[in-house]
Structure 1
Amino acid sequence: ALEIAPQNDDIRLRISDVFFTNAEQHYKEKRYQESSKQLTKAIDVNPSIAKYYVSRSRV
């Protein structure tokens, strides 16, 4: 989706939210390294969301 419409903010938000949700699940499973990777992907897709940075700082 990002390749088709890289500037579409709605797509960026949805994709970054999927990465964030995955990161939360990995964190609950104590898979901290994978959680950090997913949060980094969320930040790469949508760097304007502060909660991604806060969550990554806690991993």
Structure 2
Amino acid sequence: MTAGALGPFLTRLGRSLRLVIGAPDYERYLAHMRDHHAGEHPLSERELFEQQMRDRVERPGARCC
């Protein structure tokens, strides 16, 4: 693998790992906010993480276990 291809590969790998463990993809969230909620202020990366973790605990039926 060339050095130029390593960066995009690592980006995709990181996104895949976050999906596997259920962590939010902040870049995807920002793109969604920009495309669908242009007038709203997006959450910070930490706020998004905390909100999604809180949702997991408060909605136990949404969990697999």
Query: TM-score category by the smaller chain?
Result: 0.3 to 0.5
* TM-score, length-scaled by structure 2: 0.33
* TM-score, length-scaled by structure 1: 0.36
Instruction: Determine which structure has more spread, i.e. the larger CA radius of gyration.
Output: 2
Q: Choose between structure 1 and 2 for higher RCO, CA contacts under 8 A separated by at least 6 residues.
A: 1
